Amino acid sequence: MAPSPRIPLELLLGAFHRRTALAAGLTSRQLQSRCWIRLFPQVYIHCSVPLTGEVRLAAMRLAAPADAVVTGYTAAWLYGVWQPPPGQVVPLELGVPRDRTAARGRSLRTHTLVLDPIDINAWHDIPITSPERTCFGLMARSELVEAVVFADAFGHAGLVTWTGLMRYADERPHWPHVRKARFATDLARFEAASPMETRLRMVIVLAGLPEPPLVNGGLYDERGVLMGIPDLGYFQPIFGLEYDSAYHHTAEQRAADNVRENRLLVGQVPLLRYGPRDVFVHPDRIERDVAAMLGGRSLRHAS
């Protein structure tokens, strides 16, 4: 039986730098154990530590230079609207105010993002790009579907508004990919509660099918009794769509899902369920199912 990994108590208090772990007696090899999560290069937390705003703040202070402006994916992570894929660290994306570059002359590295001071806010005491600048920048550098994902995520969190994003784009007509950002904003539905809900909806929309009018809204019977709240829903004919993440695979959640699905079935409301393979690998299945429920065919498969 393998011995339990050594866990210094001082490393259970929050984020810490690699040098702190080495000083506490851990080795570099021990830091590769699954019980340690690498947030940034050289910055870790123990897997039992909740990733609260305070922990994010402490990790950011350990990872970034004091005078840097946090932007891009790093800013989205601090705002709590984006997470890196499992096993990957948060990329450290930094910028510098435009007025500071003049004082530094040509000493600034060419890949450093230069930011207008108007786009810089403070998150606690850390300089960070505003939600609009962060969201717009991520939308501009992403493919269309992922651009909509960012718009939905920032909007759902209450960090941006549809009008604010459109105004931001209108005021910067010559920026790269501004038309894509505007189009993605137009497709956004801030009721979406997860990236995969947005991706599921975009499979339908980009197939040319009618957009689901209901996003995380309630379906009621003729007496006004709530039957369920599907991820996506149609009224004519009435049916719902649900994205099943790993969260739905627990016994407790599965039991709750059964109660909700049975209530919908009693009310004669069909529910289509999909997982990641359907969205990423076989979106044609979703298109055909939704088209069949609507009584037609997907435009992509029309002859």
Tell me the pLDDT tens digit for each residue of 195-206.
999 999 999 999
Question: How confident is the model at residue 50, as a pLDDT?
Answer: 93
pLDDT per residue as tens digits for the range 135-172? 999 999 999 999 999 999 999 999 999 999 999 999 99
Question: How confident is the model at residue 169, as a pLDDT?
Answer: 95
> Does 222 have pLDDT greater than 90?
no
Cβ atoms 64, 84 nearer than 8 A: no
> Does 82 have pLDDT greater than 80?
yes
Residue 12: count of CB within 10 angstroms of its CB? 12
Question: How confident is the model at residue 299, as a pLDDT?
Answer: 39
Question: How confident is the model at residue 223, as a pLDDT?
Answer: 81
> Does 40 have pLDDT greater than 70?
yes
Question: How confident is the model at residue 280, as a pLDDT?
Answer: 97
Helix axes 144-156, 195-206, angle to 10 degrees: 130
Task: In whole angstroms, give the CA distance from residue 191 to residue 259.
Answer: 23
